[in-house]
Amino acid sequence: MGRLSSVFSLSKKITAFFLEYDFVAEPIIQARAVEKFYTQPDGNRIEVIAPVDLDVQPGKIITLLGPSGCGKSTLLRILTGLSQPSSGEVLWHGAPITSQNAGVAIVFQSFALFPWLTVLDNVEAPLEARGVPALERHKRALRILDTVGLDGFESAYPKELSGGMKQRVGFARALVVEPEVLFMDEPFSALDVLTAESLRNELLELWLSKKMPTKAIFIVTHNIEEAVLLADRVIVLGRNPARVRADFPIELAQPRDRKSPRFVELVDYIYKIMTQPDLALAAPDAAAVQKPARQKYQMIPHARVGGIAGLLELLQDRGGKEDLYRLAEVLIMDAEDLLPILDASVLLGFATLNEGDVEITADGTRFAEADILNRKILFRQAALTHIVILQQIDSILHAKTDHSISEEFFYDILDEHFSEDEVQRQFETAMNWGRYAEIFDFDRESHRLTLAEPVGEPHPPTTAPVPS
Ligand code: ADP
């Protein structure tokens, strides 16, 4: 990939020094008890991030993993100084960080390029914003475009480029400011599998060959394999609110082999952490022990009934039990898609999770083997036994004489506990499950829920009478 820039040589020596003397190096960024909450229009506070302590040390690629919507991007923005925590502080080399911090740059999943500017102008833009003179910024932009393999594309516009090329521009625009810490928010998620793999390798090559003066890389991802491929250190966040569930080093040499036993073991371990939200992996600190846990409203995982049924059928087909890592491979799904389906199956009592294995329960087996009508009945029974919001809807619809209620009522309940986006997602999932189970009908025009006809008890599959 491209040639080495002589301008980087001094920075390279500094980087090498930091890498070599990593064990005595001071953290570049220190987050101390950073917490984030949003205040709803009714004054209710939604805590997105519980107080978190986190250091970014030089010489490391750190990956931040966690389920979708858990607060990864929010935490990234706080660490860069772009967003303020609601409480706690972020220090940059020991002093409070500011939103104008010159030492960070961010690569976004959506590329976030200026469509009206050429590739070269896009890459020069952050230098211009920092007041770098025209000739100097032109030279630096050309050099970095060469480094990321965009030589010859200087005068192209973003719309003329493929996703992979756009993200190269995203890399170039971040690297051109020679950030001390390079932040990346799901940088490979919008790319196809092969392009993502090749860009990941190029990033690693740049980092390992020290072709960039960056001292630390912080990557937000929901892809477990990506985290194990790239990271020197993995941090796993839990959700509602986000807190650090695990923080551990990955000592495998680069380049890493996805099939090596240690690699598979690490992927398996992370699945285990992410599927056991209540498992205490680290000793809780004294403060956490003393604080009584607040009763949380149940959060439904965002899985559709079809996904849950598909998973249960596959499990049943494979003898009722399977390793999560293998299941993800067979289904060609990453954790972001698979985990909500697993969580939903567990919540409904159709499966259990244990040490990274998923096992179908007796109820799950009955569901997987049932015909269409019986599936609805079994799902209804499971939903009304285990899902709080559906129990509430069912109870209110039975209590009201007109057996009907406005959706607003449930938005009001959910509003108390979740952010606006999450309220929408919770409601959509509850509608999907409740309508499938024929607990209620939902009219999208009047925005009202009405009691559905009861579907009865499960019955054995009917067989056609034998002709006499
Ligand atoms: P992730 O990056 O892990 O997918 P985010 O950091 O984007 O998650 O979001 C975390 C949570 O914070 C989500 O539930 C989201 O709805 C909520 N959230 C983000 N921004 C706001 C905001 N401005 N007001 C209210 N809630 C917000």
For 286-304, how does the pLDDT look when each residue is reduced to its tens digit (9 = 90+)? 333 333 344 578 899 999 9
- Find the mean pLDDT for residues 413-420: 83
Calculate how far, in angstroms, residue 72's C-alpha sits from the geometric centre of ligand 1: 8
- Tell me the CA distances in angstroms from 304 to 337, 365, 431, one per residue in order: 11, 18, 10
202 touches ligand 1 (CB under 6 Å): no
Within a 10 A sphere around the Cβ of 167, how many other Cβ atoms?
A: 26
- Find the mean pLDDT for residues 18-47: 79
- Provide the percentage of residues in the chain whose pLDDT is more than 90: 58
Task: Report yes or no: 127 and 137 within 8 Å, Cβ to Cβ.
Answer: yes
- Find the mean pLDDT for residues 199-212: 89
- Sequence-distant (6+) residues with CB within 8 A of 224 are 65, 267, 270, 271, 274, 334, 335
Residue 433 predicted with pLDDT over 90: yes
Task: Report yes or no: 274 and 339 within 8 Å, Cβ to Cβ.
Answer: yes
pLDDT score recorded for residue 293: 42
pLDDT tier for residue 378 given thresholds of 50, 70 and 90:
very high
Within a 10 A sphere around the Cβ of 280, how many other Cβ atoms?
A: 9
pLDDT score recorded for residue 341: 94
pLDDT score recorded for residue 295: 55
Across the beta sheet with 87-92, the strand order is 45-56, 29-39, 87-92, 95-96
CA distance 330 to 404: 43
- Find the mean pLDDT for residues 323-334: 84
39 touches ligand 1 (CB under 6 Å): no
Highest mean pLDDT of the ranges 199-203, 217-221, 456-460: 217-221
pLDDT score recorded for residue 10: 46
pLDDT score recorded for residue 458: 58
38 touches ligand 1 (CB under 6 Å): yes
**Which single residue is written with the structure tokens 């923005």?**
77
Calculate how far, in angstroms, residue 408's C-alpha sits from the geometric centre of ligand 1: 22
21 touches ligand 1 (CB under 6 Å): no
> How confident is the prediction for the chain on average, in pLDDT?
86
User: Which ligand 1 atom lies nearest to the CA of residue 220?
Assistant: 2
Across the beta sheet with 321-323, the strand order is 321-323, 357-360, 351-354
Among 419, 424, 428, the mutation site with the greatest number of ligand 1 atoms within 8 A of its Cβ is 419
- Find the mean pLDDT for residues 120-130: 94
Sequence-ordered strand ranges (E) for 2-44: 29-39
- Find the mean pLDDT for residues 354-362: 89
pLDDT in tens, 82-107: 999 999 999 999 999 988 887 999 99
Task: Report yes or no: 68 and 147 within 8 Å, Cβ to Cβ.
Answer: no
CA distance 276 to 270: 10
**How distant is the alpha carbon of residue 58 from its chain centre?**
24
- Sequence-distant (6+) residues with CB within 8 A of 454 are 438
445 touches ligand 1 (CB under 6 Å): no
- Residue, of 391 and 14, whose pLDDT is higher: 391
CA distance 343 to 181: 35
CA distance 285 to 28: 24
- Find the mean pLDDT for residues 386-413: 88
Residue 8 predicted with pLDDT over 60: no
- Provide the percentage of residues in the chain whose pLDDT is more than 70: 88
CA distance 62 to 214: 13
Calculate how far, in angstroms, residue 49's C-alpha sits from the geometric centre of ligand 1: 9
Question: What pTM did the predictor assign?
Answer: 0.73
